[in-house]
């Protein structure tokens, strides 16, 4: 089934950061502070001592090591791990296990042979940067779950990465959405190492921290195990515009 762009309701759609009538001065100010300021504004774990830490957070970005990617078209490079091993097409494996009847390890060739879905959506990081209309291509997560045979007791999915550090999670309902991909291509090319290749998750309706790079494991679980940034204050339900990953609330 081809995903229906209309599933993406206006409330979920990535918004123009300046479209909500907030004073530009505040926007620019927050923008220069990056996620530090976002955290101060919204995330409980940074609220205390905000004044004290603001100065030191200025210019830094707690969602990991970040830098503008050359030729990245506005993407920033993020990795919470200092170095990440490279996986060649021959080395790569994606395991699907946990509460499933048919656990499996996919090679890259296995994944490439499966039916593909294409989505073109805006990429939106919680720190404010955004890459409009970015094409992604990959296998629906739902297809892999279907093939694995999810058991009745399952409630959630946990993702692990071959950087050895990052994790992510979705509820089973979220994981089954047609706009959640195990992505093989981005912007018309195979996903390169810096963008989390050869395989990354792409959770189109949520902030980009949900889109785990260097994806190596999909484990079906009986409860949500919050991911890396989620244990550090960010919402598991990271809907763009409807979670704590932004400074203003477009629904209000």
Ligand X SMILES: Nc1nc2c(c(=O)[nH]1)N[C@H]1C(S)=C(S)[C@@H](COP(=O)(O)O)O[C@H]1N2
* Closer residue to ligand X, CB minimum distance, 76 or 246: 76
x-or-dash pattern for ligand X, window 163-182, by CB under 6 A?
A: x--x----------------
Window 198 to 217, contacts with ligand X (CB under 6 A): 208-209, 211-214
Owner of token pair 């490079």: 77
**Does the protein bind Mo ion through residue 182 (CB under 5 A)?**
no
* Closer residue to ligand X, CB minimum distance, 106 or 229: 229
Strands annotated E in the chain: 65-68, 76-79, 93-98, 104-107, 117-124, 130-140, 156-161, 167-171, 180-186, 189-190, 200-203, 215-221
* Closer residue to ligand X, CB minimum distance, 63 or 219: 63
**Does the protein bind Mo ion through residue 108 (CB under 5 A)?**
no
Owner of token pair 């919402």: 235
C-beta of residue 30 within 8 angstroms of C-beta of residue 39 = no
Stretch that binds ligand X, among 25-33, 70-78, 140-148, 239-247 (CB under 6 A): 70-78
Can you tell me the distance from the alpha carbon of 155 to that of 182, in angstroms, rounded to the nearest whole number? 19
x-or-dash pattern for ligand X, window 134-163, by CB under 6 A?
A: ---------------------------x-x
Count of CA atoms in the C-beta half-sphere (13 A) of 83: 2
Owner of token pair 């996620």: 35
Smallest distance from the beta carbon of 154 to Mo ion, in angstroms?
A: 28
**Does the protein bind Mo ion through residue 125 (CB under 5 A)?**
yes
* Closer residue to ligand X, CB minimum distance, 99 or 201: 201
* Closer residue to ligand X, CB minimum distance, 92 or 214: 214
Residue nearest to ligand X (CB): 166
Torsions phi, psi for 140 (to 5 deg): -65, 135
Applying CB under 6 A, among 8, 30, 39, 78 the residue interacting with ligand X is 78
Can you tell me the distance from the alpha carbon of 70 to that of 148, in angstroms, rounded to the nearest whole number? 38
* Closer residue to ligand X, CB minimum distance, 117 or 160: 160
Residues at the contact surface with Mo ion, assessed by CB under 5 A: 63, 125, 208-209
């Amino acid at each position: 089934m081809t995903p229906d762009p209309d599933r993406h309701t206006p409330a979920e759609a990535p918004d123009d950061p300046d479209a909500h009538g907030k004073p530009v001065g505040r926007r620019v100010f927050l923008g220069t502070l990056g996620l530090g300021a976002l955290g101060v504004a919204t995330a409980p774990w940074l609220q205390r001592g905000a004044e004290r830490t603001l100065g030191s957070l200025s210019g830094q970005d707690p969602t990991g090591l970040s830098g503008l990617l050359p030729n990245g078209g506005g993407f920033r490079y993020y990795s919470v791990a200092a170095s990440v091993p490279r996986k060649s097409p021959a080395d790569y494996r994606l395991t699907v296990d946990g509460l499933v009847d048919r656990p499996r390890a996919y090679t890259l060739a296995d994944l490439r042979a499966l039916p593909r879905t294409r989505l073109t959506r805006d990429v939106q990081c919680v720190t404010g940067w955004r890459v409009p209309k970015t094409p992604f291509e990959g296998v629906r997560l739902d297809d892999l779950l279907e093939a694995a045979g999810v058991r009745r007791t399952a409630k959630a999915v946990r993702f692990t990465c071959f950087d050895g550090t990052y994790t992510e999670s979705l509820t089973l309902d979220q994981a089954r959405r047609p706009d959640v991909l195990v992505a093989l291509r981005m912007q018309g090319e195979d996903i390169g190492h810096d963008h989390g290749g050869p395989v990354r998750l792409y959770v189109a309706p949520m902030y980009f921290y949900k889109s785990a790079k260097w994806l190596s494991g999909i484990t079906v679980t009986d409860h949500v195990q919050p991911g890396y940034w989620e244990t550090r204050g960010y919402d598991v339900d990271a809907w763009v515009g409807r979670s704590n990953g932004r400074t203003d609330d477009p629904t209000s």
